[in-house]
Copies of this chain bind each other. A is one copy, B any other.
Amino acid sequence: MTEELFYANLDYQREKRRGVGEVIYGDGKTAEQITEIIKRLAAATDKPVFATRCSQDKFIFVQKQVPSAVYYQEARIIAIGQSQEAVGNIAVICAGTSDLSIAEEAAVTCELLGNKVTRIYDVGVSGLHRLLAKSDELQKAGVIICVAGMEGALPSVVAGLVAAPVIAVPTSIGYGAAFGGVAALLAMLTSCSPGVSVVNIDNGFGAGYTAAVINRAISCS
């Protein structure tokens, strides 16, 4: 069943069809629209409902009408409710300080979808000892999300060390020939390590969603 607002055609079947309900992409939507959609979706499920790419200003607006809303600042996510579970183990790792926001978007998405997350941050390949020091944590993960901008080398190195599937997220961090994330994107797509698959530039949510689907299939089967 779908419900039509003038500006949106809500997909209530999605949770049944796909196992995960509709998540709101906040960018380009007004605070009013986000509030309205959050309320309708929350009324129809007992799982967390959340909106990504939301500024603090939008959160303040939403919270006035939906007092239970919380804001994950680094991740830019507005959420209602928390997951009752934290199954399996998804490692979210990132190359540099500047990739933090996208890494958190991925990590919080995983948590809201009911998964346990291990964060391993600022372990870029220019100082390999920082990554190697985390080997044990990497080995324990069922799925790894690997976030990096600039030359995007981290997923190739990580995938060479582990058996788990690696979901690579290129970020738009960098300048000049980084071309807003294209350098990292191409590097990840052409990784010499098999077992790496890639999502769109800065798509922390997409990586988190995919990792969640895989992790829950592994953990709950």
A residues lining the B interface (CB < 8 Å): 2, 4, 6-9, 11, 13-14, 17-20, 23, 27-29, 33, 95-98, 100, 121-130, 133, 142, 150-153, 156-157, 159-165, 167, 170, 172-203, 205-207, 209-210, 213-214, 217-219, 221
The reply to whether B192 and A160 contact each other, CB–CB distance below 8 Å, is no
Contact B163 A18 (CB under 8 A): yes
Contact A125 B157 (CB under 8 A): yes
Most chain B beta-carbon contacts within 10 A, residue among A2, A175, A197, A206: A197
Across the A-B interface, give the 7 residue pairs with the lowest CB-CB distance, nearest first. Answer: A176-B201, A153-B153, A9-B122, A197-B197, A183-B186, A19-B163, A151-B187
Q: Which of B19, B177, B185, B192 contacts A95 (CB 8 A)?
A: B192
- CB distance A150 to B9 under 8 Å? no
Other-chain contact of A175, B2, B14, B151, B202 (Cβ < 8 Å)? B202
Q: A6-B121, A176-B180, A218-B221 are in contact. List 20 more A-B contacts (CB 8 A).
A: A4-B122, A13-B129, A124-B192, A125-B156, A125-B192, A150-B192, A151-B152, A151-B186, A165-B214, A175-B200, A176-B181, A177-B189, A183-B183, A185-B189, A189-B198, A189-B199, A194-B206, A195-B209, A197-B206, A221-B221
In the complex, what residues of B have CB within 8 A of residue A33's CB? 97
Interface contact B177-A185, CB-CB below 8 Å: yes
Count copies of this chain in the complex: 8
Q: Which of B28, B123, B184, B217 touches A173 (beta carbons < 8 Å)?
A: B28
Pick from B14, B153, B197: contact of A127, CB under 8 Å: B14
Q: Give the residue of B127, B194, B205 whose beta carbon is less than 8 angstroms from that of A209.
A: B194
For A170, the closest partner residue in chain B by CB is B176
A199 to chain B: closest residue by CB: B197
* Distance from A133 Cβ to chain B, minimum over Cβ atoms (Å): 7
In the bound complex, do residue A7 and residue B201 qualify as a contact, i.e. CB atoms below 8 Å apart?
no
Query: Could you tell me the distance between the alpha carbons of A214 and B160 in the complex, rounded to whole angstroms?
Result: 16
Q: Shortest Cβ distance from A67 into chain B, in angstroms?
A: 25
Q: How far is the CA of A138 from the CA of B193 in the complex (A)?
A: 23
Contacts of A219 on B, CB cut-off 8 Å? Answer: 221
